[in-house]
Amino acid sequence: MNSYDHIAILITVYNRRQKTIDCLKRLHSQQLKPLVRLEIFLTDDGSTDGTSEAVKEQFPDVKLYKGSGSLFWAGGMRFTWEKALASNADFYLLINDDTLLTDHAIITLLSSVEKYTDPVICVGSTVNEHTGKTSYGGSRLTSKTQWKSEKIEAPATATDCDFANANIMLVPKYIVNSIGILSKDYTHGLADYDYTLKAKKAGFRVVVAPGFLGSCVDDHGNNWKGDKLPLKERIKYLKSPKGLAYHEYLLFIRRHFPLSYPVAFLKLWLKTFFPFLWDAFKNNSPANPSILNR
């Protein structure tokens, strides 16, 4: 084992007590090499279902923080990461609390990064156990200029990707010191896509570890509302951080895929004003990864 032995685990949670507890149980049952040390940092963003109390009782070793109640995913992960920076860990491992790690997940991530001479971000693929298909992980761009991509199915060996979800994402200290943590420009989703694209632009590799390293169901469904919902509510969803995140999404497109900006702008309003047209369009188009990952 090399000197990379201290891993700070970053989690943010809200009203998913049992899923949070199950996630922590999997973390505590990891098969690790002797020198590997895990330190768990968890932010509870105002849960009312007893999540904090359950964590304190069952996992007193977890460093537990209380959020403002309005952090959402990206804000909660930034808050947690900022707390964890003082640990000066060798790696920071971002985990979603609805992700159940396999018992070999962390050792696989570490084994994957050790194959590279330079620091790399390593992400793990998750499987939807109901379908057997990849739910989250890495994706590759299918265009050099447009926001078009395809999901990478769990590879047999570590494989390069262009951007990734942070359901399971291992980031070495060197890269954090170089590019920082998740951007403050995103409230809920897109922050992990932005971070991995930013890392690539800075010259770092982002790789997908071999196999499935956890299970997680992508239960977000369509990222638009049907015309049965009043227009006022559809516009509200358009602007919502947990909806289409209008301003943040267009910022993301402008930052990383500026040539896609006009089309992205039109699609957002098409989904909002004419969802029946969008339904028809999607039903006659090949399946695409969800634009929003949260």
Q: Write the DSSP assignment of 179-191 as a string of letters.
A: H-SS-TT-SSSSH
**In the chain, where are the structural domains located?**
6-215, 231-283
Q: Which residue type, as a one-letter code, is found at position 44?
A: D
Per-position pLDDT tens, the chain of length 294 = 355 589 999 999 999 999 999 999 999 999 998 889 999 999 999 999 999 999 999 999 999 999 888 899 999 999 999 999 999 999 999 999 999 999 999 999 999 999 999 999 999 999 998 888 899 999 999 988 888 999 999 999 999 999 999 999 999 999 999 999 999 999 999 999 999 999 999 999 999 999 999 999 876 555 656 667 788 888 888 888 888 888 999 999 999 999 999 999 988 888 887 776 666 656 555 444 444 333
Q: What is the pLDDT of residue 261?
A: 92
Kindly state the tokens that stand for 218: 């992508």
- Which residue in this structure is represented by tokens 């500026």? 258
d(CA 60, CA 57): 6
Q: Residue 164 forms beta bridges with which residues? A: 138
Amino acid at 284: N
Give the residue from 236, 216, 189 showing the smallest Cα distance to 75: 189
Instruction: Copy the structure tokens of residue 168.
Output: 């399971």
Q: What is the pTM of this model?
A: 0.90
**Please, what CATH class does the domain formed by 6-215 belong to?**
alpha beta
- Around Cβ 26, how many Cβ atoms within 10 Å? 18
Asked if residue 99 lies in contact with residue 167, where contact means CB atoms within 8 angstroms, the answer is yes
120-128 and 91-95 as β-strands: parallel, antiparallel, unpaired?
A: unpaired
What confidence score (pLDDT) does residue 69 get?
Answer: 86
- Distance, in Å, from the CA atom of 164 to the CA atom of 125, rounded to the nearest integer, reads 10
Gap between the Cα atoms of 294 and 289, Å rounded: 12
